[in-house]
Structure 1
Amino acid sequence: MQYLEGRKYVVQGIFLSVALVFAVRLFHIQVLDGSYKLAADKNTLQRIVQVPYRGLIYDRKGQLLVQNTPVYDLMVIPREVKNLDSARFCQLLQMPIEELRTGLHAAKVYSRSKASPLVQNLSTPELAAIQDNLVDFPGFSIKARMARAYRTENMAHALGYVGSITPVMLEKEKYAKYIAGDFLGITGLESFYEKEMMGRRGVQYRMVNVRGVEKGAFRDGEFDTLSVAGKDLHLSIDTELQQYGEYLMQGKRGSIVALDPKTGEILAFVSAPTFNPATLTGKGSGNRYMALLNDTTKPLFDRPLAATYPPGSVFKLVNEAIALQEGVVTPYTGFPCNWKLVRCTHRHEYPANSTLAIKNSCNPYFYQVMFATVRRGRSTSKFRDVALGLEDWRRHVVTFGLAQHLGVDLPGERMGLIPSPNFYDKRYGKNRWSYKTIYSLSIGQGEIGITGLQMANLMAIFANRGWYYAPHFVRGIGNGGPLPQYLQKHYTSVDSSHFNAIVPGMQAVVDGRGGTGNLASLLDVGISVAGKTGTVQNAHGDDHATFAAFAPAEDPKIAIAVFIENAGFGGSSAAPLAGLMMEKYLRGHIAPWRKRWEYWLPGPASRFITHRR
C-alpha cells in the first residue's frame, strides 16, 4: 500500500511540473516577449463574404427586365468601435446624431461581434466622404453589394421586390443561411424563386494590418471558396402586351390576365392601379412604400391574384358544361325567358338552345339549367335533394381550378370560394335552405368568389376543351425549363365533347349579330373570338364589368379575362378592352379605326353608348 501511495505522489508531481512549464511559457509570451503582440496588432485575419450575383430576369423575347447594379453599405461591428467622434462622423455623412445612436443600438442588439448595416445605399458623396476617413473610425467598414435595377416600368406586382432581411426573419430556421444586412426577395417572383436566384456565397480570408491595409491571402487561399451566381429567370410575359394593358387600365381599378392556353404561360398580368417597380428600391424606399401602403386606391394590392369577386355571367358557361355532363340538358334544350323566376337584362327571343342562351346571356334559362342539375329528378325532400345536388355540382366545379390554389409561381394566391352544403347549413341551418336560397349561383352571383387569374384559366379550359396547365410566369430557369409542376396537365370532370357544344355560343356572343360582346369582335381583321360578357352586381356601388374570351376560336393562342370595378356592363367596357389586347398580341398592332377606342378606355367606361350584359 505504501508503494502505491508513493506512485500517486510521483504522478501528481509530473502533472504539476508540466503545468508549471506551460504557465511560465505563457507568461513569457504574453508579458515579457512583445513580438507576438506586435504581430497580432499588425496583422488581423479578416473574413470577407462574397455575395453572389443575383439571377437576372428576362421576358419571353429575351429582353432584360431586371438586372443588378452596385451599391455600398456602411457596416459596423459594435465591439470594435473605440472612441467614436460622433460629431465628426455625423458631419461627414450628414446624419442626425439621433439616427446614429439608434443605428448603433440596433447593431448591438443584433450582435456586438458581428457586422450589421448602419447606413444602406450610400450616395456617391457619402461614400467618398466616409471612405477616405474610415481609418479614423475603427469598427466601421464599407460593404459592396448588388442591388436590383429595373429596365421596365411595368409588372411591379409580378416582379416583386428585394428588401433587407429583418431581425424577425433571422430568428426563423427558414432563414438560417442569411445574416444581418443580407437582401432577399420579399414579394412576387423575387420571393417565389429566391432559392434559385440567390446563388451561393463565397468566402475569402485576408490578412490585414491595423490600418486596414490588405497584406495578402491567408495561407494562399487554402480556405477560400468561390461564390456561385444565381440562376436567371426567363419569363413568358410579353412586355409590349403588358405595357399596353397597363396603359388601357389607367384610371381604373381591376385586372387583366392573359394566358397561352396551350402551355399555361402568362402573357400579361395587369393589376390596376399599379406603380413603378423601381419605387421600392434605393434610399428612401421605406418611405415610398408607406406612401403606397396608405394610398386609398391600394396600388400595392395584387388584384389578379388576391381580389375575389363573383364572376357574373361568365360562370354560366361552367354551369352549362356541368349540366351537359350530368345529362340533364342537351345542346338543343330550351327554357323560356321567364322573368317570374329571375329578371333578365333585356327581353329577347325564346332561347331554344344553349347557343342562343349563351349569346343572349339569358338569366331565366340558366336558372332552370342549374335547377335541373341540383335536383336531377329527386323528389324525396326539397331541402335534402338540393343539398345532395349542390354537393355533386360543387365536385364538378372545383375541377375547373376554382376554390383552390391554381399553384401560380407567385406568393399570396387566394383560393376564392365555391359554397358547399356545409356553408349554407352554417348560415341558415340544416334543412332550412332550398334552391331559392342558392339560385344566384346559376348566374355567377351570390357567394361565389373567384380571382382574375382563375377566370383567365377558365377561358384556357374552354379553349382546350377541358384541360389546363397551371398558370405560370417562368418558362425557363437558367438553362432549363419551368418547374416540373407546370408541365402537368389537369383535366376537368366534363368530357371534351360538351365544351365543343358550348364554344359556338361563345362565338355568337362576340361575332354573332346582336351578341353581348360585339365590341370585342376582330372579324374585320380575320380573327374569330369566343367569349362571354358579365356584369357583376355590387351592393357597395356601381356594378363591376367583366369579359373573358379566347382567340382565334379555331386554334386558340390567347385566353384573357378582364375585370373592371364599378365599370357597369361587361359588354360595353371590359369587352372592347379585351379585344384590343387580343389584337395587340395576335397581330402586333391595332387596326387604325379601333385604335381610336384607346381614347375612351382610360376614362369612365360609361362613355360607351352600347350597354349589354
Structure 2
Amino acid sequence: MRKLLLPSLIIVAASLLVIRIFYLQVIDDSFKLKSDNNAIKIKYDYPERGYIYDRNGKLLVANQASYDIMVIPRELKNTDTLEFCQLLNITKEDFIKKIEKAKIYSPRLPSVFLPQLNKSEFAAFQEKIRKFEGFYFQKRSLRDYEVDSGANIFGFITQVNEKLVAKNPYYNSGDLIGRQGVEESYEDILRGIKGVKYIQKDKYNREIGSFKEGRYDTIAVQGEDINLTIDAELQKYGEELMINKRGGIVAIEPKTGEILALVTAPSYDPSILVGRQRSKNYTKLYHDSIAKPLYDRGLLAEYPPGSPFKILTGLVALQEGVVNEQTTFMCNHGFAYAPGRFQRCHCGGGPRDLHVGIYKSCNAYFSNVYLRTIGKYKSSPYAVDVWSNHIKSFGLGQFMGYDLPTGKKGKAPTSKTYKKMYPDWGWSGKTIISNAIGQGEVLMTPIQLANMMAAVANEGYYYTPHIIKKIEGKKIDTKFTTKHVTTIDKKYFKPMISGLFDVYNLGTAAGLRVEGIDICGKTGTAENFAKIDGKRVQLKDHSIFVAFAPKDNPKIAIAILVENGGFGATIAGPIASLMIEKYLRKKITRTDLETRILNTSLQAQYAKLGGLSEDIKLELRKNDSILKSKTVIPKIKIDSTKEN
C-alpha cells in the first residue's frame, strides 16, 4: 500500500491539473478577455449617474451628454496634425504631449485624448473623424446642475487617476468618479454599472462581429436616484444671505438629524466644474488661498464657540449638582477669579441666576458655575475629564460620523491636554476658566454647534447628522436612525430652554423676534487677532448665533458663524431669524432684517483690516471673476478673549 500511495497522489494531482487546464482553455475562455488580445476590441457603454433630488422632490442634479475623444496610439496613421489641432482649438505642442502620454499608458489600449466635448464641439469634429485613424468618440454622461447653489454639498465629477485604476478594477483610464460631497460619499450608488461589448476583429484590424455571439456582453445599468435631506430653497436663501461674507450655516431637523442646509461662504456655481473649462476653473478655486472656496467652513472650520457654549457649562453644572436654578452669583461687570486676573462681563451687572445668566449672557455667572463643577472633585486634575465626558456626549471633540467625506473633530480638552500644556507646574479650574464661556482650548465646527442645539431642542438626545434621505430601492444606514442620549438628565433641559427663549424676549436677541414663532437662541461674539506681515493685528469680532424653533416641538436647529461679523446679534442673529422663518413659513415678514443682511458686505472689512500687501490685493482682484461670494480675507489665527 505504501508503494502505491505516492504514485496515486501524483496521478490524482496530474488529473486535476489537466481537468483545470481543459476548463480554462476550452470551456471557460473569460480569461482571454482580460488580456490585451489584438483580435478583440472592448467597447464600454457608460450609464447615466443617478439623479439627485432635495427633500421635497425638487430635481437638483441631472445629466447631460458629453463626448471624449479617445486615442489608440498604435492605430494612428497619416494624421493631418494641423487640421486636427484647428478643429479642436489646441496647439501642436498639446497634441504631441497628449499622444506621448497615451503611449506611456499603453500603445494598444485607448486613452482619453480630449475630455468632455459639448454637443457643438462634438458635431464639428464628428464630420471629419473618419480622416483621423486611431481616434474615436466615447460617449459619457456629465452632470447638469438645475440649481446654482449647493456646490459644497454635491461635490463634482472628475477623471480617475492611474493610482485608482491600478487599485480598483472597475475603473479604466478616462472613467469618471465623484469627488467631494455626496458624489464621493455615494459614488458606488450613483455611478451605476457600465456595460461591456466584446468585438471580434480580423487580421486587418476590421470589426467582424460580436465575440462569442455576445456571450460576455453586458448592458449598462443606470445609477440609483437619491433624495437629499437638504431643502433646496433654504440652501439657496442661506447662500444669498452669506454673499460678501465669510463663514458657515448649518441647519438640522432635531427629531431626525437630517441636514436642512449646509452653507459655506464664499461659494461658487457648481456648473463651472463641468466641461472643458473644468480643470482651469478648479485650479483657480484650489489655489485661492485667501477666500478658500473649496474649504467647507460648515464642516471643517474649527472655532472657539463663544457664549453658545455657556449652554453646556450650565447643563453640566446642573447634572453634577453643584448649582440649581435658584443659585445666584453677583456680577460686577466682571469676575476676579485669581489674584491679578480678571474676566470681563458686559451684561450690566447685578445678581444672576441660571435664567438671567443665559438671556443676559453673563460671564461672571458661568465662570463661577464652572469653578464649582471642577471644584466638586477638589481640584483633582481629572475633574476636567468628568466635565469633558459630559460635553463629548453632545458630539463634541470627535468625528460625528455623518455621510460627507470631510470633517474635523473640534476639541474637547481633557486632563491630558493640560498636562501637556503645563508639564512643569500645577493647574486648576482657575487656570482653564476660559472654557466656561467657550474660549480656552474648546473648539467646535458649525455642524457641531448645530447638533448641540438639536440635542438641547430634543431635551437630551440627537441623531447623527446626515444628508441622505432616500435611496431608490434601498434603505439608508441604520446609524442615522440610532438615538444618541447625552449624559444630562432630561429634567435639566427645561430651565435652560426657558432661558434661551428669553434671549429673544428680554435678552441679547430681543430685536430679532419673528412674530408668531417662538425661537430659542443664544448670541456669541469672539475677539480674534491675526499675524500679518509679522505684526499682531486685532480684527473685527466673529459673529456667532445658535437657535432652534419652535420652542415646543422644534423643527429646525441652526448655527451661524460669520467671520469678522461683529456682535452675535449684528449679523449672525438676523440670519438665524430669517432662515428659521424661511423654513417654517416659506416666506419672510422681517423684510427689514432681510434688506439689511442682503446689503451688508464685509469685503471692505476683509480687504482693509490687517494692512494687506500689494501681492494679496492683486490676488483679491483675480478672485472676483470666479467666486459667487466675493469674500476675501488673509489667513488668520484666532485668539479669542472676549464674549458677549
TM-score of the alignment, normalized to the shorter chain, above 0.5: yes
Q: Hey, what does 1:404 align to over in structure 2?
A: 398
Q: Which runs of 5+ in 1 are unaligned?
A: 1-42
Equivalent pair of 1:519/1:579 in contact (CA under 8 Å): no
SS of the equivalent of 1:234 reads: strand
Q: Hey, what does 2:529 align to over in structure 1?
A: 539
Distance in structure 2 (CA, Å) of the matches to 1:481 and 1:154:
27
Distance in structure 2 (CA, Å) of the matches to 1:167 and 1:560:
42
SS of the equivalent of 2:404 reads: coil
Q: In the TM superposition, what are the counterparts of 1:481-496 in structure 2 within 5 Å?
A: 481-496=475-490
Q: Does 1:503 align with 2:494?
A: no
Distance in structure 2 (CA, Å) of the matches to 1:125 and 1:212:
31
Q: Does 1:59 align with 2:54?
A: yes
Q: Hey, what does 1:14 align to over in structure 2?
A: none
Q: Which runs of 5+ in 2 are unaligned?
A: 1-37, 338-342, 531-538, 605-642
Q: Give the total of aligned pairs.
A: 552
SS of the equivalent of 1:170 reads: helix
Task: Tell me the CA shift for residue 478 of structure 1.
Answer: 1.3
Which piece of structure 1 moves more, 359-368 or 473-482? 473-482
Which piece of structure 1 moves more, 199-208 or 387-396? 199-208
Q: Does 1:467 align with 2:461?
A: yes
SS of the equivalent of 2:345 reads: coil
Q: Hey, what does 1:354 align to over in structure 2?
A: 354
Give the direction of change, closer, same or farther, for the CA distance of 1:606–1:97 in structure 2 (3 Å limit). closer
Which piece of structure 1 moves more, 288-297 or 551-560? 288-297
Task: Tell me the CA shift for residue 606 of structure 1.
Answer: 13
SS of the equivalent of 2:393 reads: helix
Equivalent pair of 1:400/1:492 in contact (CA under 8 Å): yes
Q: Hey, what does 1:196 align to over in structure 2?
A: 189
Task: Tell me the CA shift for residue 479 of structure 1.
Answer: 2.9
Equivalent pair of 1:205/1:224 in contact (CA under 8 Å): yes
Which piece of structure 1 moves more, 575-584 or 415-424? 415-424
Task: Tell me the CA shift for residue 128 of structure 1.
Answer: 3.3
Letter paired with 1:516 = T
Equivalent pair of 1:135/1:211 in contact (CA under 8 Å): no
Distance in structure 2 (CA, Å) of the matches to 1:278 and 1:45:
38
Task: Tell me the CA shift for residue 115 of structure 1.
Answer: 0.8
Q: Which has the larger radius of gyration?
A: 1
Which piece of structure 1 moves more, 387-396 or 333-342? 333-342
Among 588, 591, 597, the residue aligned to 1:590: 588
Q: Does 1:246 align with 2:247?
A: no
Distance in structure 2 (CA, Å) of the matches to 1:259 and 1:471:
7
SS of the equivalent of 1:543 reads: strand
Q: Hey, what does 2:437 align to over in structure 1?
A: 443
Task: Tell me the CA shift for residue 92 of structure 1.
Answer: 3.0
Q: Hey, what does 1:323 align to over in structure 2?
A: 317
Task: Tell me the CA shift for residue 544 of structure 1.
Answer: 0.5
Normalised by the length of structure 2, the TM-score is 0.82
Which piece of structure 1 moves more, 540-549 or 424-433? 424-433
Letter paired with 2:265 = A
Equivalent pair of 1:567/1:606 in contact (CA under 8 Å): no
Identify the structure with the greater helix proportion.
1
Among 155, 159, 176, the residue aligned to 2:154: 159
Q: Hey, what does 2:549 align to over in structure 1?
A: 551
Q: Deviations for 1:544-586, whole angstroms, at most 9, x for unmatched residues?
A: 0111011000110010111110111102221111001101111
Give the direction of change, closer, same or farther, for the CA distance of 1:123–1:508 in structure 2 (3 Å limit). closer
Letter paired with 2:404 = L
Distance in structure 1 (CA, Å) of the matches to 2:393 and 2:602:
34
Among 496, 513, 517, the residue aligned to 2:509: 517
Which piece of structure 1 moves more, 154-163 or 283-292? 283-292
Distance in structure 1 (CA, Å) of the matches to 2:124 and 2:571:
56
Q: Hey, what does 1:145 align to over in structure 2?
A: 140
Q: Deviations for 1:437-479, whole angstroms, at most 9, x for unmatched residues?
A: 2110000012211101000001100000111111111111113
Distance in structure 1 (CA, Å) of the matches to 2:452 and 2:292:
27
Q: Deviations for 1:84-105, whole angstroms, at most 9, x for unmatched residues?
A: 3323322332321110111111
Among 102, 108, 113, the residue aligned to 1:113: 108
Q: Hey, what does 2:287 align to over in structure 1?
A: 294
Among 14, 22, 42, the residue aligned to 1:47: 42
Equivalent pair of 2:246/2:562 in contact (CA under 8 Å): yes
Q: Deviations for 1:139-181, whole angstroms, at most 9, x for unmatched residues?
A: 211100001110000011011111111223334x2x3321100
Q: Hey, what does 1:601 align to over in structure 2?
A: 597
Distance in structure 2 (CA, Å) of the matches to 1:126 and 1:153:
24
SS of the equivalent of 1:572 reads: coil
Which piece of structure 1 moves more, 432-441 or 545-554? 432-441
Q: In the TM superposition, what are the counterparts of 1:428-439 in structure 2 within 5 Å?
A: 428-429=422-423, 431-439=425-433
Q: Hey, what does 2:97 align to over in structure 1?
A: 102
Give the direction of change, closer, same or farther, for the CA distance of 1:57–1:431 in structure 2 (3 Å limit). same
Equivalent pair of 2:403/2:467 in contact (CA under 8 Å): yes
Among 563, 566, 569, the residue aligned to 1:568: 566
Distance in structure 1 (CA, Å) of the matches to 2:130 and 2:582:
59
Q: Hey, what does 1:343 align to over in structure 2?
A: 344
Equivalent pair of 1:45/1:218 in contact (CA under 8 Å): yes
Q: Hey, what does 1:34 align to over in structure 2?
A: none
Identify the structure with the greater strand proportion.
2
Q: Hey, what does 2:68 align to over in structure 1?
A: 73
Distance in structure 1 (CA, Å) of the matches to 2:370 and 2:305:
16
Q: Deviations for 1:265-287, whole angstroms, at most 9, x for unmatched residues?
A: 01111111111011111111111
Q: Deviations for 1:3-31, whole angstroms, at most 9, x for unmatched residues?
A: xxxxxxxxxxxxxxxxxxxxxxxxxxxxx
Which piece of structure 1 moves more, 188-197 or 294-303? 294-303
How much is the aligned-residue C-alpha RMSD, in angstroms? 2.1
Equivalent pair of 2:244/2:603 in contact (CA under 8 Å): no
Q: In the TM superposition, what are the counterparts of 1:114-133 in structure 2 within 5 Å?
A: 114-133=109-128
Distance in structure 1 (CA, Å) of the matches to 2:315 and 2:454:
14
